[in-house]
Amino acid sequence: MGVRVLIADDHKIVREGLRALIEKNEKMEVVAEAETGLDAVRLARKLQPDVVIMDLGMPQMNGIEATREIAAGNQKIKVIALSMHSDKRFVLQMLKAGASGYLLKDSAFEELITAIKTVTSNQSYLSPKVTDVVLKEYLQTVSRGDATAFSVLTHREREVLQMLAEGKSTKEIAASLNVSVKTVETHRQQIMDKLKIRSVAELTKYAIREGLTSLEP
């Protein structure tokens, strides 16, 4: 049986390009595509692929949270992050979430097959452009225990924050999470208290900076 791959990216043209590249390899097959983070988690649980190619800027649930959910459900599934961001904060958060690899989009087509083969051999793969800075910063960050959105906020608070940053109303968030409006308002207040931020605009900036959402078109 070949390597079974799930592609998670909200841009159809990117998914099609990745599928075409992967399916040129006789030992690999694309079992499904996901255009939201929630779909990626759902399909990963249902299909149990060997590898998930995960975009960071996913709607509904960002790639970092989706990776965390997938890794928590089955550590045998290898996640390779696919991003236009080489910023160490994004890379480190993906690694902490459980990703086994990190590729930059401008080099993904040349490196993707190599990355898939590497992670399925239980090794990690990082694009050469980010390797040195990531390893150095990762060791320093672990030793310092820096506070981030992923250490300060709960999983539900991060979900609410992402949706707020994406412009969803309190009612829309409540409906999406299947909770009451009052519960969402409580979460929002707790988020603001923990982060010492008092406006949605500042919360949005914070969410983007922390990699919770990219707000890409």
Last residue of a domain, one of 111, 143, 175: 143
The mean pLDDT value of the chain amounts to 87
Is 197 contained in some domain? yes
3-state secondary structure (DSSP) of residue 162: helix
Domain CATH code at residue 42: 3.40.50.2300
User: Under a CB-based contact definition with an 8 Å cutoff, are residues 89 and 131 in contact?
Assistant: no
One domain, residues 11 and 75: yes
One domain, residues 163 and 107: no
Average pLDDT over residues 123-133: 82
Residue 130: is its pLDDT beyond 90?
A: no
| CA separation for the pair 211, 207 (Å, rounded) | 6
User: Under a CB-based contact definition with an 8 Å cutoff, are residues 70 and 81 in contact?
Assistant: no
Work out how many domains the chain is built from and give that number.
Answer: 2
3-state secondary structure (DSSP) of residue 48: coil
Residue 138: is its pLDDT beyond 70?
A: no
Average pLDDT over residues 177-201: 91
The predicted pLDDT at position 119 comes to 94
pLDDT band at 72; cut points 50, 70, 90: very high
Last residue of a domain, one of 143, 161, 196: 143
Average pLDDT over residues 58-80: 93
One domain, residues 40 and 130: yes
Q: What angle do CA 154, 6, 134 make, to 5 degrees?
A: 55
pLDDT band at 209; cut points 50, 70, 90: confident
Is 215 contained in some domain? no
Residue 143: is its pLDDT beyond 60?
A: no
| CA separation for the pair 199, 170 (Å, rounded) | 14
Range of the domain at 169: 149-209
One domain, residues 124 and 154: no
The predicted pLDDT at position 217 comes to 43
Is 216 contained in some domain? no
3-state secondary structure (DSSP) of residue 79: strand
Average pLDDT over residues 144-170: 82
